[in-house]
Structure 1
Amino acid sequence: MQRLIGYAQPHRSLIGKAIACSILNKIFDLAPPVLIGMAVDVVVKQQDSLIAHLGVTDIFSQLVLLAFLSLIVWGLESVFQYTYQRLWRNLAQTIQHELRLDAYSHLQLLELAYFEDSSTGGLMSILSDDINQLERFLDIGANEILQIATSIITISAGFFIVAPNVAWITLIPIPFILWGSITFQGLLAPRYAEVREKVGLLNGQLANNLTGITTIKSFTAEDYEAKRIEAQSLGYQHSNQKAIAFSAAFVPLIRMLILFGFTGILLYGGKSAAAGELAVGTYSVLVFMTQRLLWPLTRLGNTLDQYQRAMASTTRVMNLLDTPIAMHSGDTPLPRSEVKGELVLNNVTFAYRNRPPVVENLCLHIPATKTIAIVGSTGSGKSTLVKLLLRLYEIQAGSITLDGIDIRQLKLKDLRHAIGLVSQDVFLFHGTVEENITYGTFDATTEEIVAAAKTAEAHEFIMQLPQGYDTIVGERGQKLSGGQQQRIAIARALLKDPPILILDEATSAVDNETEAAIQRSLEKITQNRTTIAIAHRLSTVRNADCIYVIEQGKLVEQGRHEELLEQQGIYAMLWRVQSGVK
């Protein structure tokens, strides 16, 4: 809660105005019963009424005055209600906006391992649903608490002023109601924490299934997945039912306490009015006000329900914000224009969490402006090297240097600005072809975009799309073929014009004709830049300046294509298998 208050600090002025409008709205909301009591007083006492003592003796004039006061009271009540609703809702929107941006910004700084251990749907639940729960409480709950407090203070003070002898009867239930509210809050907290956890699991399963809908359909697993979703949904339903069982009991129990106070003022106050100890108008005001004082306390149940949901959600958001950032940027700048592109891996060792090393004591030298190929069997650690070079993971031993500087000392943005990546797992964002090509190079001109597309052999098929470069590619580029997606990814990397280009199985999803076209442009693509080509198809890297062969995370062979064939080692064996030579 203390952390949440910190988000409210910059908006103290707005909060102050919202609080003032809520209080004034409630004060004017409590005025009509007083006006009714004064009207009864006019009818019963006529020229001896309270208003008559103020100088207005004519009965009709007194009623006209009351009607005029009613107009003012209702008008001001409406004005302050409009104002407080607008202020509280704007405040709720502002705080949830700032909290969501902070949570998302922090999430982007976390290392890749965090995302591999977390559910995408669960994270979406925190960033969306949990923050929205907080917004709902700020939108309604905060005002409810203020108005209930205003009612208790205002009506209690009024009771003791006009009828101190009977006021205590109405106020007796209040301490018990407040005690019951606090007790319920304690009982609800762990139940709503479980609810938020269950909805996170459900969202995670839904996100996973929607992403893999093609696989589900191809394996006719719709019934199986429907049952899995049913199980997660039932878990969410049952956790909600346990919370509802407690929250639903609050209002009936509070109503019994309210009945005690209402019955007391009805009997004891009525007896005093009949005995002439209490004015009839005052008695009618007390009866009305008792209801106005005690009945709103039943809404404490809904307010506390919203509060506990909001606090459970806030806890999840704060836990995300408290997740430590394991990988910190270095302080050494390296502008892209000054990057030569020499990379050296010296005794590098890396293992994924709770797994044996993927790379062990690996030493590689990648000269500037040269084309280097890294090949090996599946699982040999080739793609892991890409993640290490981009510093998506931290190595456990050894060092990686760029132009003689340890990459851990470099500013992360400078390091990643210097490297262009075309991955085998292409990711295109929902948007146009042009937006995907310019991703990361947002200020590119149309001429630069077209030039990059032509180099990547993508321009021709783009122009055949319905809207050309303005064609929407769909989520994850699903409206395009795998080869088309890969060529757009290559164009995106080329538009960035990085000093270092990494092609991680960059032609794995293209047909032979397209691969040949891309190979023809490789000479232009790799000119004056360091190129690292990670490949399974050896035919795509046979012209590399040097080929490194990696097996089980260790360097086993190196040399040019012809030299490796002469060695009759692992590379030669792979070449024979792929070329069909026995």
Structure 2
Amino acid sequence: MSGPVPPALPLSAAPPLRALWHRAEPRHRRHAAFAALMSFVNKVFDIAPELLIGAAVDVVVNAESSFVGRLFGVEDRVDQLSILVAITAVAWILESVTEYLAVLNWRNLAQELQHDVRMDAYRHVQDLEVAHFEDQTSGGLMTILNEDVNQLERFLDMGPHRIITMAANVVLIGVTFFVISPLLMALSFLPIPVIVAGSIVYQRRLEPRYAAVRRAAGLIGDALTNGLGGVATIKAFTAEEREVERVGTDSHRYLATNQAAIRWSAAFSPLIRAAVLAGFVMTLLVGGRAALRGDLAVGLFSVLVYMTQRLLWPLTDLGETLDLYQRAMASLRRIFGLLEAEPTILPGAAELPTPVRGDVRFEDVHFAYSPDGTAVLSGISLHVPAGETHAIVGATGSGKSTIVKLLLRLYEPTAGRILLDGTPIDELTFASLRGAMGFVAQDVFLFHGTVRENLTYGRLDADDAALHRAAALAEAAGFVEAMPHGYDTVVGERGQKLSGGQRQRLTIARALLRDPAVLVLDEATSAVDNETEAAIQRSIDRVSHSRTTIVIAHRLFTIRHADRIHVMEAGRLVEAGTHDELVARGGLYAALWRVQTGDTDPSDVEVA
């Protein structure tokens, strides 16, 4: 049959286990195949003792004419029983060995898959553009990357082993029943369609309920993440009880949603037990009468009684297995939904010629955060020659920081283009573009770790000499070396053990350690005291001579010596020139300068 190949289903639309199988590596598939084989063989040896029990009863009842006696040519019943004991011992040993191998391999596979799925999802998240995170909550993403992946692991840990052994149990015992008594097979197997139909119905009923459970888990993850991240603000406003109540509301919603799913899941086991009882009664009643009439050997009747229990009783675990399965499938759909979020900003293939000069050019750049949104930038054209220091100033919301985000390709222009050393930045690899830049954000971020680990984050191969030089240029060496452990001092999450000025200086040192061709400072002195601002300004003055420097400024004092100052208003460049030229021109920049120097009433102009 020929023709066009139909498009593949999205991961979240395809059956989750099938999608997981297709994503698995060949080694994982081989691992799963071996584990499945061990599960099947384990069930073969697991039901062997029931057959041997029937053979033992046959030996006691029929003596030398027993099946074992005829098979091995042994008349003495003690010798026959000794043979059965030896076979039983071998079966138990092999059953134990295969169970060990099956469980070991399934659990190892569960660990490997949960690791790979988590890393695939986290790597994919890292490839997504910044705009994606603005539409997501960190708590929701954490729930997917952690709890949802763990739900998958819990199912894979023992779920497949149980399902395979249950299926093998039904097949092997069905064959045994058919050989001994087709009538009893039909009667004993009557409950199985009820169990299968009940499983299908419950699976459909449970699926939306566990999807709701995972959504509720995401909401409580959001609440906990926000509460822990904002603990200082919570305490400052004495809002501890209010936060506890808020988390309590989300936690109670999760509790209620989970309990609703559990009510359905828990009702499944009694249904199976009733079906098991029906099958067991039929074997006892019909098989017992046949044995009393002499139509069925007593040994074979014993085998069937034990086999009936062995057939149906393990199915009582189906409810718990189904519960684990539905939780895992709901989690897998959320994971695959995340993996389907495609990045819209893709790297180019070009590399910047070395050495990078740092010539930056914006050509008629327009930008809006959404296709139908308000324009944030309109017709921005500016040129920053290599080695010069340029500042961008303007009122809050004028679009200053957006220019930096576009330069780093955290966002994509809706029109126009941006060039670095004459190459459009959308043609460059991310490593080439961002590797040529050192970025210091207004929102300072330090990782939990040592000072050394934070400074070398962008240049792992930096030696101590380079590290100390960058710290000295940023005027951070003094306070770092005064710490008890110097560069090995742990700064805490987000650098909470340091002052705001210290954190800011470390981020400047981190950027300088890369020795970037372009240094970008986004409001680097907006949240520091005068002394720290003066120190940071001295650092900027020292390092800006040898590289292109773009400064987004809040305080005009810090950029008055820039080679050129660009003034923005409502997403447009309205003025450009040196400090003296702009002050003399008497425009927007001059008004902002008068406000900050106290020469005019601040109400006369919107303050930057």
- Shorter-chain TM range is over 0.9
Q: Is the 8 A contact 1:125 1:199 kept in 2?
A: yes
Q: Give the CA deviation at 1:284.
A: 1.4
Where does residue 475 of structure 2 map in the other structure?
457
Where does residue 366 of structure 1 map in the other structure?
384
SS in 2 for 1:426: coil
Q: Is the 8 A contact 2:352 2:432 kept in 1?
A: yes
Are 1:350 and 2:367 counterparts? yes
Are 1:382 and 2:393 counterparts? no
Q: Is the 8 A contact 2:358 2:387 kept in 1?
A: yes
Provide, for residues 71-129 of structure 1, a one-character-per-residue CA deviation record: whole Å limited to 9, x for no partner.
21111111111111111111112222222222112111211111011010101111111
Q: Distance in 2 between matches of 1:86 and 1:307?
A: 20
Amino acid at match of 1:459: A
Q: Distance in 2 between matches of 1:438 and 1:579?
A: 39
1:282-321 alignment runs, 5 A limit: 282-321=300-339
Q: Distance in 1 between matches of 2:86 and 2:36?
A: 27
Q: Distance in 2 between matches of 1:570 and 1:221?
A: 42
Where does residue 141 of structure 2 map in the other structure?
123
Residue range with higher mean Cα deviation, 510-519 or 152-161: 510-519
1:80-91 alignment runs, 5 A limit: 80-91=98-109
Q: Is the 8 A contact 2:438 2:516 kept in 1?
A: yes
Where does residue 49 of structure 1 map in the other structure?
66
Q: Distance in 1 between matches of 2:104 and 2:24?
A: 17
1:322 is matched with which residue: 332, 337, 340? Answer: 340
Amino acid at match of 1:132: N
1:385-534 alignment runs, 5 A limit: 385-534=403-552
Amino acid at match of 2:388: K
Where does residue 250 of structure 1 map in the other structure?
268
Amino acid at match of 1:45: N
Where does residue 20 of structure 1 map in the other structure?
37
Q: Distance in 2 between matches of 1:330 and 1:493?
A: 24
Q: Give the CA deviation at 1:61.
A: 2.1
Where does residue 89 of structure 2 map in the other structure?
71
Q: Distance in 2 between matches of 1:477 and 1:332?
A: 36
Are 1:161 and 2:170 counterparts? no
Q: Is the 8 A contact 1:40 1:281 kept in 2?
A: yes
Provide, for residues 21-67 of structure 1, a one-character-per-residue CA deviation record: whole Å limited to 9, x for no partner.
10111111111222222222222223332222222222222222222
1:332 is matched with which residue: 346, 350, 353? Answer: 350
SS in 1 for 2:99: helix
Are 1:4 and 2:16 counterparts? no
Q: Give the CA deviation at 1:569.
A: 2.2
Q: Give the CA deviation at 1:528.
A: 2.1
Where does residue 179 of structure 1 map in the other structure?
197
Q: Distance in 2 between matches of 1:414 and 1:343?
A: 14
Q: Is the 8 A contact 2:347 2:426 kept in 1?
A: yes
Q: Give the CA deviation at 1:378.
A: 1.7
Q: Distance in 2 between matches of 1:451 and 1:102?
A: 38
Q: Give the CA deviation at 1:146.
A: 0.4
Provide, for residues 443-495 of structure 1, a one-character-per-residue CA deviation record: whole Å limited to 9, x for no partner.
11111111111111111111111211111111111111111111110010000
Amino acid at match of 2:22: G
Q: Is the 8 A contact 2:358 2:420 kept in 1?
A: yes
Are 1:204 and 2:183 counterparts? no
Q: Give the CA deviation at 1:9.
A: 5.1
In structure 2, the CA distance between the partners of 1:506 and 1:37, relative to structure 1 (3 Å rule), is same
Are 1:140 and 2:158 counterparts? yes
Q: Distance in 1 between matches of 2:350 and 2:69?
A: 85
Q: Distance in 1 between matches of 2:133 and 2:540?
A: 34
Q: Is the 8 A contact 1:375 1:547 kept in 2?
A: yes
Q: Distance in 2 between matches of 1:8 and 1:399?
A: 40
Over aligned residue pairs, what C-alpha RMSD do you find?
1.5
Q: Is the 8 A contact 1:7 1:95 kept in 2?
A: no
Q: Distance in 2 between matches of 1:224 and 1:368?
A: 54
Q: Distance in 2 between matches of 1:28 and 1:338?
A: 70
Amino acid at match of 1:109: D
Q: Distance in 2 between matches of 1:218 and 1:355?
A: 36
Residue range with higher mean Cα deviation, 151-160 or 199-208: 199-208
Structure 2 unaligned regions, length at least 5: 1-15, 601-608
SS in 1 for 2:375: coil
Q: Distance in 2 between matches of 1:267 and 1:446?
A: 85
1:268 is matched with which residue: 250, 264, 286? Answer: 286
Where does residue 553 of structure 2 map in the other structure?
535
Where does residue 223 of structure 1 map in the other structure?
241
1:552 is matched with which residue: 570, 584, 590? Answer: 570
Q: Give the CA deviation at 1:578.
A: 1.9
SS in 2 for 1:159: helix
**Normalised TM-score (structure 2):** 0.93
Q: Is the 8 A contact 1:438 1:444 kept in 2?
A: yes
Q: Distance in 1 between matches of 2:535 and 2:147?
A: 47
Q: Distance in 1 between matches of 2:333 and 2:312?
A: 32
Q: Distance in 2 between matches of 1:286 and 1:561?
A: 98
Q: Distance in 2 between matches of 1:322 and 1:96?
A: 18
What count of residue pairs does the alignment treat as equivalent? Answer: 581
Q: Is the 8 A contact 1:457 1:514 kept in 2?
A: no
Residue range with higher mean Cα deviation, 285-294 or 11-20: 11-20
Q: Give the CA deviation at 1:224.
A: 1.6
SS in 2 for 1:220: coil
Residue range with higher mean Cα deviation, 42-51 or 445-454: 42-51
Amino acid at match of 1:110: L
1:29 is matched with which residue: 46, 54, 58? Answer: 46
Q: Is the 8 A contact 1:51 1:57 kept in 2?
A: no
1:93-108 alignment runs, 5 A limit: 93-108=111-126
Q: Distance in 1 between matches of 2:369 and 2:241?
A: 35
SS in 1 for 2:390: strand
Q: Give the CA deviation at 1:331.
A: 2.4
Q: Is the 8 A contact 2:21 2:29 kept in 1?
A: no
Q: Distance in 1 between matches of 2:287 and 2:263?
A: 37
Q: Distance in 2 between matches of 1:511 and 1:460?
A: 17
Amino acid at match of 1:135: E
SS in 2 for 1:104: helix
Where does residue 56 of structure 2 map in the other structure?
39
SS in 2 for 1:358: strand
Provide, for residues 318-374 of structure 1, a one-character-per-residue CA deviation record: whole Å limited to 9, x for no partner.
111111221111222215x33221112122211223642221122212111100111
SS in 2 for 1:526: helix
Residue range with higher mean Cα deviation, 232-241 or 450-459: 232-241
Q: Give the CA deviation at 1:144.
A: 0.9
Q: Give the CA deviation at 1:199.
A: 0.7
SS in 2 for 1:547: strand
Where does residue 574 of structure 1 map in the other structure?
592
Structure 1 unaligned regions, length at least 5: none
Q: Distance in 1 between matches of 2:218 and 2:538?
A: 49
Q: Is the 8 A contact 1:371 1:546 kept in 2?
A: yes
Q: Is the 8 A contact 2:39 2:165 kept in 1?
A: yes
Q: Give the CA deviation at 1:580.
A: 2.5
Q: Is the 8 A contact 1:99 1:131 kept in 2?
A: yes
Q: Distance in 1 between matches of 2:528 and 2:483?
A: 18
**Normalised TM-score (structure 1):** 0.97
Amino acid at match of 2:573: L
